[in-house]
């Protein structure tokens, strides 16, 4: 059982987080000050320290340094507010495994804890007991989490995560919708990994990349000699995924003829390889994805309505990156770990100016664009932190979008307030964060404009 030292001066939050982690079989010791933490690090010999960066008698960076000085293998996660991103960067520089931004739900930190403990295990194996002082450990975290689904902490991500957890244990067909680059395949993998089929194959198919002439063979297989070029028997995607999950990406690209064959296969749970007279039973769950409006395609006669309803037993909308601004640096750090592992580098974070540029940019290419940009920046960076100068011009020069509201500098502030309240479902604290003002200012503005909730 992993030993965790939790350092949090907010008694209520600390107690809640401790209770949550204890229920998940972690051995947790909770202290409320840095002074207590320094004593416990020596006596408890924890596997991990989770600490707030702001404490009444010191700060989390000193606790981080103390933990690393005693044992470099201790993993440290720091908890910060949105305004303390520079301290989080410093923490990464001094060897923290990761940071999480408050406020967050306890569930959102579980993956980070798991990755950190797995990294500790990998490091112990690789170093055979030799501690490595300072600096973020390259590649180990990435090796653990590469290709995994990263849970965000934004409201949009929480809704997405709730939907995944709700539908995953069922056998329902799921239609995943979202803009290009939002990570629809990772959502599909997460559904599979949380399902009863997780030990069986997950087969991903890009429907837009299959030539029409061989599509039937690709999906259902063929027998030797069934057509010119069929020199061997071939197992199709349906049989390859038997017992598991078949993920069909860009399902809207399927030809009408293949739509008919797919519908029959899903209804009958049987397929017939090309050239064969024998039907083969298959037990699969189908998860599909599209960045098109399939409902509109049905109306226009481009997609079969019966197949649409068969595939859309449950639908999930994956939010764009601009709808998940609170998650931006979580994803950026994840992609940083992956890039470090792939490029064999040890970049530990981003400068405050680079972080600000990230937050100002609109990210039209979503997670795919972010991943590619971080990898390029890691390649170009010669220091510990990624600087503004290595970022692409369109990102380094991006200015804060009015969609992010910002301070009131125009005549439409009443409408901006109403929009923020609508987006936050009337939650004044969230609305104030959207507007980049404090709650007191928001209350004064509500009174000024006579806005009542």
State the Cα–Cα distance between residues 4 and 17, nearest whole angstrom. 11
**Does 408 have pLDDT greater than 90?**
no
Residue ending a domain, among 137, 167, 194, is 137
- The reply to whether 66 and 172 lie within a common domain is no
Q: Give the model confidence (pLDDT) of 129-147 as tens digits.
A: 433 333 333 333 333 344 5
Higher pLDDT, 122 or 380: 380
- The reply to whether 195 and 310 lie within a common domain is yes
**Does 87 have pLDDT greater than 90?**
no
Of 317, 299, 302, give the one whose Cα is nearest residue 253: 302
Q: How much of the chain, in percent, has pLDDT values that exceed 90? A: 42
Q: Give the model confidence (pLDDT) of 159-197 as tens digits.
A: 999 999 999 999 999 999 999 999 999 999 999 999 999
Q: Where are the alpha helices (DSSP H) in 128-226?
A: 140-145, 155-167, 184-193, 215-220
Going from the C-alpha of 130 to that of each of 2, 125, 138, 143, 147, the distances in angstroms are 20, 10, 16, 20, 29
State the Cα–Cα distance between residues 107 and 17, nearest whole angstrom. 9
CA triple 55-56-61, angle to 5 deg: 35
The answer to the question of residue 277 being in a domain is: yes
Q: Give the model confidence (pLDDT) of 338-390 as tens digits.
A: 999 999 999 989 998 999 999 899 999 999 999 999 999 999 999 899 999 99
The answer to the question of residue 114 being in a domain is: yes
- The reply to whether 298 and 433 lie within a common domain is no
SS3 175: strand
- The reply to whether 117 and 174 lie within a common domain is no
- The reply to whether 88 and 130 lie within a common domain is yes
The answer to the question of residue 239 being in a domain is: yes
- The reply to whether 97 and 182 lie within a common domain is no
111 in Cβ contact with 105 (< 8 Å): no
- The reply to whether 228 and 280 lie within a common domain is yes
- The reply to whether 173 and 307 lie within a common domain is yes
**CATH number of the domain that 249 lies in?**
3.40.50.300
pLDDT band per the 50, 70, 90 thresholds, residue 443: confident
58 in Cβ contact with 35 (< 8 Å): yes
The answer to the question of residue 97 being in a domain is: yes
Q: How much of the chain, in percent, has pLDDT values that exceed 70? A: 87
The answer to the question of residue 303 being in a domain is: yes
Phi, psi for 28 (deg, rounded to 5):
-115, 130
The answer to the question of residue 355 being in a domain is: no
Residue ending a domain, among 317, 333, 358, is 317
The answer to the question of residue 133 being in a domain is: yes
Q: Can you give the pLDDT at residue 361?
A: 92
Bridge partners of residue 363, in order along the sequence: none
Which range has the worst mean pLDDT, 56-60, 158-162, 229-233, 259-263?
229-233
- The reply to whether 130 and 161 lie within a common domain is no
Q: Can you give the pLDDT at residue 401?
A: 57
State the Cα–Cα distance between residues 327 and 284, nearest whole angstrom. 33
The answer to the question of residue 258 being in a domain is: yes
Phi, psi for 35 (deg, rounded to 5):
-60, -45
Query: Can you give the residue range of the structural domain that contains 437?
Result: 405-449
* Domains in the chain, number: 3
Residue ending a domain, among 277, 297, 317, is 317
What's the chain's average pLDDT?
83
Q: Where are the alpha helices (DSSP H) in 8-128?
A: 11-23, 34-44, 60-70, 85-93, 107-127
Phi, psi for 274 (deg, rounded to 5):
-60, 130
- The reply to whether 110 and 198 lie within a common domain is no
- The reply to whether 208 and 291 lie within a common domain is yes
Q: Can you give the pLDDT at residue 142?
A: 33
Region of 439 (left: φ > 0; alpha: ψ -120 to 50; beta: rest) is alpha
**CATH number of the domain that 54 lies in?**
3.40.50.2300
**CATH number of the domain that 416 lies in?**
1.10.10
Q: Can you give the pLDDT at residue 217?
A: 85
- The secondary structure of 376-439 as a DSSP string is HHHHH--SSEE-GGGS-HHHHT----GGG--S--STTHHHHHHHHHHHTTT-HHHHHHHHTS-H
Per the structure block, which two tokens stand in for 34? 């840095």
Residue positions counted in the chain? 453
- The reply to whether 183 and 277 lie within a common domain is yes
Per the structure block, which two tokens stand in for 195? 């399902």
């Amino acid at each position: 059982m992993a030993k965790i030292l939790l350092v949090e001066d907010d008694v209520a939050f600390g107690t809640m987080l401790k209770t949550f982690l204890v229920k998940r079989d972690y051995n947790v010791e909770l202290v409320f000050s840095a002074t207590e933490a320094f004593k416990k690090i020596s006596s408890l010999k924890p596997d991990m320290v989770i600490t707030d960066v702001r404490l009444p008698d010191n700060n989390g960076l000193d606790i981080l340094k103390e933990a690393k000085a005693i044992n470099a293998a201790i993993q440290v996660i720091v908890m910060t507010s949105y305004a303390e991103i520079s301290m989080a960067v410093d923490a990464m520089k001094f060897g923290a495994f990761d940071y999480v931004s408050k406020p967050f739900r306890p569930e959102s930190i579980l993956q980070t804890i798991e990755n950190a403990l797995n990294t500790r295990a990998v490091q112990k194996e690789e170093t055979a007991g030799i501690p490595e002082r300072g600096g973020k450990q390259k590649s180990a975290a990435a090796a653990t989490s590469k290709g995994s689904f990263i849970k965000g902490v934004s409201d949009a991500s929480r809704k997405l995560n709730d939907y995944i957890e709700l539908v995953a244990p069922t056998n329902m067909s799921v239609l995943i919708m979202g803009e290009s680059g939002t990570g629809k395949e990772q959502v599909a993998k997460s559904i599979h990994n949380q399902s009863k089929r997780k030990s069986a194959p997950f087969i991903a198919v890009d429907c837009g990349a299959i030539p029409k002439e061989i599509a039937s063979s690709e999906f259902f297989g063929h027998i030797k000699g069934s057509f010119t070029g069929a020199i061997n028997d071939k197992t199709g995607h349906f049989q390859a995924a038997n017992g598991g999950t078949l993920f069909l990406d860009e399902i809207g690209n399927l030809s009408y003829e293949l739509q008919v064959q797919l519908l029959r296969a899903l209804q009958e749970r049987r397929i017939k390889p090309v050239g064969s007279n024998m039907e083969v039973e298959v037990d699969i769950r189908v998860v599909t994805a599209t960045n098109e409006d399939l409902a509109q395609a049905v109306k226009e006669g481009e997609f079969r309505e019966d197949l649409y309803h068969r595939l859309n037993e449950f639908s999930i909308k994956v939010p764009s990156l601009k709808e998940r601004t609170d998650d931006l640096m979580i994803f950026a750090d994840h992609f940083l770990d992956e890039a470090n592992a792939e490029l064999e580098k040890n970049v530990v974070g981003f400068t405050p100016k680079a972080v600000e540029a990230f937050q100002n940019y609109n990210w039209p290419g979503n997670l795919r664009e972010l991943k590619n940009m971080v990898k390029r920046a890691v390649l170009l960076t010669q220091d510990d932190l990624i600087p503004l100068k290595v970022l692409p011009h369109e990102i380094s020069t991006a200015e804060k979008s009015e969609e992010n509201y910002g301070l009131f500098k125009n005549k439409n502030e009443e409408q901006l307030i109403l929009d923020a309240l609508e987006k936050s479902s009337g939650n004044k604290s969230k609305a104030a964060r959207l507007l980049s003002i404090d709650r007191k200012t928001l209350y004064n503005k509500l009174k000024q404009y006579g806005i009542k909730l």
